[in-house]
Amino acid sequence: MPIISDAIKYSRLALGLRGFLSGTITLEESKQVIADRLHDREKNFLSLVQKGIYQNPKSPFLKLLKLAGCEYGDIEPLVNKGGVEAALKKLLADGVYLSWEEFKGRKEVVRGDQHFSFSQRDFDNPYLAVYYQKQSSGSRSAGTRTTFDLNHQLAMTYYCLPILAVHDALDVPIAAWKPILPAASGIVLALNQWKAGKPLDRWFSPVDEKQVQSSLTHRLAMRYIIYGSRLWGAKLPKPEYAGLREAIKVAQWIADAKKQFGGCFLIATVSPAVKLCQAAIENGLDIKGARMIVSGEPLTPAKRQQMEAAGVLVTTKYIISDIGRVGCGCPQAGATDDIHVFSDSMALIQHRRKVANTDSSVDAFLFTPLLPTSTRILLNAESDDYGVIETRSCDCLFGQMGFNTHIHGIRSFAKLTGIGMNIVGTDFVRFLEEVLPSKYGGVAADYQLLEEEDSRGQTHLSLVISPEVGEVDEGEVIAYMLAELRRIPHPGKLTAGIWEQAKMLQVKRVHPISNMGKVATLHLMKK
């Protein structure tokens, strides 16, 4: 009975919210908690492996470890001798990792002559109370689950004030331009900022409930959290719709805050933030000196330049919804998208892998969350990102706190990332290779999805259709593509909602780009 189980979850959520919202934390407490977590890093990792994997018969990693002939007693000395990352590298060499396709249930796990398949649920941390969880159903994949646990949220809240301090934004108003549920980022931000004693002044959402075809559960959960929190004295802002064409509304808030308080801080997704800066320039709004932190898609040099043209100080943060918070940039950053890895809660190594549907190989990241409150228990799990890892000191507060591992050049190898929404390439491959040719003619190699960035930092997506395919009604193909996108598990609907308003999809009647005579179905132009 989903309604009854929802009611139980909601009443647990109400009780949990009351505890979560009582009292706020300080910057000093935050620094102390993070220092303790860094100190206990190896202990936390071993405890998570012992309780979350060896004492959790459902854990997929238990099977992989057994297959590698690895007992708990083998891991402890590895960690004691060389640290967490050295142990993870040894485990990777022994086959203890999950590729992104395996982690997402898109591919069977094959190690030697053994075959496994796992469900997303098997990765859940069995020690967390799940207050609110929604699994989108997908016919071709495991879907994505939005897990919402308040103990996990509290653990993450300790990053809020250091992030504001690094950006010199402890005394200015804060706003978010983040979507409503099913994306969890907006509501999580509203709660975490409240807990940190720096609540959001405004919450703008780039989509409304209609555009994302929000389910009843999501609509209820949003209202429940916002109005329920008010019962416990937390005045969370109600999301206000500001679509991409209303970027000026958010820019106006920045200009007003600047006039009244001398500055402000905006947390947003990358492409909308770029649009906002353009809107400010075109409308002669003064947003110079405003600070922004952006995420959700790569912050490329062109996008950063576009934002800096409006006088905005921008950095990036890096969060992976199925894995956790990876880190945050600082104003002293070297590379455009440089971030300090939050190594108190996340371990990170790399390995070389081939990318499906393309002819390239990349150094993919493998993540291992370390805190007892991690929503998923993972050992060397790939997201679909790759990039560069380096160790170096930095003068900023993050550096002083001991966050010396940096990553930059972060790109997705399997997703199209336009306008702050990720859509998984492999879901689209069948559509491009089979559905389109059977409907409009031609063969698989006549169709290609192309992501490129123009000189103004805007991302464009084109459906390339070879001129050899006969006449095609371009509007109809795009409508058909958006409809197909909506059928893809989360964030399909959300992405379609955004792409539709931004009119970011276009049809190009040219020959698909080929490399050595081979046409990759998805082609991401090198930045």
Site residues for Zn ion per CB under 5 A: 330, 332, 394, 396, 398-399
Contact 176, 186 (CB under 8 A): yes
> Least CB distance from residue 342 to Zn ion, whole Å?
12
390 or 476: CB nearest Zn ion:
390
Q: How far is the CB of 216 from Zn ion (least distance, A)?
A: 44
Distance CA 179, CA 384 (A): 22
Query: Which residue, 340 or 411, has its beta carbon nearer to Zn ion?
Result: 340
Rounded to whole angstroms, how far apart are CA atoms 463 and 450?
A: 6
Q: What is the largest CA-CA distance in the chain?
A: 67
Which helix (H) or strand (E) is 114 found in, with range?
strand 114-116
State the nearest-atom distance from the C-beta of 335 to Zn ion, in Å: 12
* C-alpha dist (Å) from residue 220 to 147, 182, 252, 429: 16, 11, 30, 34
- The three-state secondary structure class of 321 is coil
Considering the complex, what minimum distance in angstroms separates the CB of residue 31 from Zn ion? 15
Q: Give burial (CB, 10 Å; 0-12/13-18/19+) of 121.
A: exposed
Give the tokens for residue 111. 């190690």
By beta-carbon proximity to Zn ion, the closer residue of 396 and 504 is 396
State which residue, 237 or 329, has the beta carbon closest to Zn ion. 329
The least distance separating Zn ion from the CB of residue 420, rounded to whole angstroms, comes to 24
Q: Is the peptide bond before 182 cis (omega within 30 degrees of 0)?
A: yes
CB of 268 to Zn ion, least distance (A): 21
Whose CA is closest to 148, among 45, 17, 33? 17
Nearer to Zn ion, 338 or 433 (CB): 338
Closest CB to Zn ion among residues 184, 330: 330
Shortest Cβ 166–Zn ion spacing (Å): 7
Please identify, using beta-carbon distances, which residue of 213 and 404 lies nearer to Zn ion.
404
* Three state DSSP letters for 433-465: HHHHHHHHCCCHHHEEEEEEECCCCCEEEEEEE
Cβ proximity to Zn ion: between 313 and 505 the closer is 313
Rounded least distance, CB 340 to Zn ion, Å: 6
CB of 400 to Zn ion, least distance (A): 9
Cross-strand pairs, 174: 265
Place of tokens 């409930």: 209
C-beta of 292: minimal distance to Zn ion in Å? 17
131 vs 398 by CB, closer to Zn ion: 398
End-to-end CA distance of the chain: 50
What single-letter DSSP state applies at residue 98?
Answer: B
| Phi, psi (deg, nearest 5) at residue 187 | -70, -35
By C-beta, is 133 or 332 nearer to Zn ion?
332
Helices (H), 170-235: 185-195, 216-231
The token pair at 222 is: 């949003």
Give whole-number Cα distances, 108 to 105, 145, 337, 385, in Å: 7, 19, 34, 20
In this complex, which beta carbon is closest to Zn ion, that of residue 346 or of residue 414? 346
Minimum CB–partner distance for residue 319 and Zn ion (Å): 18
In angstroms, the CA 101 to CA 118 distance is 11
State the amino acid at position 220 in one-letter form. Answer: L
Burial class (CB in 10 A: 0-12, 13-18, 19+), 507: middle
